[in-house]
Amino acid sequence: MNNGDEQFRNDKALIERVLNGDALAFGVVIKNTERLVAQIVSKMINDASDRKDIAQDIYLKAFHKLGNFQFQAKLSTWIAHIAYNTCTDHLRKKSVKLFGDSFHDAESIGMTIGDGSKQPIDGNEFMHQKDIAQILDREIEKLPPVYRTLINLYHQQELSYLEIEAITEIPMGTVKNYLFRARKMLRTNLLLQYKREDL
């Protein structure tokens, strides 16, 4: 039995328990998927006060739609898809641009999501950073919501292009293109913020 078959059987058994009224079973669904959902919500949504409500909304939608799950993907991927759509809907209602203003505009490349300030780091502060990973995490957070989410899903969650396509409904070729653009934005932003020799 391969891992895919085993995952399918586990998902099917779990969903049947939920649909048969086993409240504890949905708790298992949440436990199995909350890390991925939390990553998507935290990367898409800047406002920490909105995140808890959005996460609750995601699982409420998942619970009500569970009977329609077609097993065309893993249950975790399906719930991640609900999470991504819920977050993008929220951002659109708030008129937040999912991709920034322009792929080639230096200010949009260097922008800070949040209060809008760029907050450059001087050399002394740079020397107090623990490591490059910390710096990268800080700069990733400055990317537009979709780009930083794709970076997280691919590089940090180590999901395949196929899984990311299923979660976002962005075609695989476009996912690859967006990742390329996100890395280019990140590289440009790093060069704007830090001296080349510091990196």
List pLDDT tens digits, range 94-119: 998 888 654 433 333 333 333 334 44
The pLDDT, as a whole number, for residue 164 is 97
110-125 residues labelled b (16+ CB within 10 A) or e (exposed): bbbeeeeeeeebeeee
Tokens 């070729």 -> residue:
173
Average pLDDT over the chain, rounded to an integer: 83
pLDDT over 60 (residue 64): yes
Mean pLDDT of all residues in 84-99? 93
Confidence band of 5 (pLDDT split at 50, 70, 90): confident
Confidence band of 2 (pLDDT split at 50, 70, 90): low
Q: What is the CA radius of gyration of the chain?
A: 19
Structural domains of the chain, ranges and CATH numbers in brackets: 3-93 (1.10.1740.10), 106-198 (1.10.10.10)
Tokens read off for 114: 């949040």
pTM (2 d.p.)? 0.79
The pLDDT, as a whole number, for residue 130 is 54
pLDDT over 70 (residue 123): no
List pLDDT tens digits, range 19-36: 999 989 999 999 999 999
pLDDT over 50 (residue 57): yes
The pLDDT, as a whole number, for residue 128 is 46
The pLDDT, as a whole number, for residue 127 is 43
Contact 129, 168 (CB under 8 A): no
| From 48-52, 78-82, 126-130, 150-154, the region with the lowest mean pLDDT | 126-130
- How many C-alpha atoms does 86 have within 13 Å on its Cβ side? 25
The pLDDT, as a whole number, for residue 175 is 96
Q: Which amino acid is at 60?
A: L
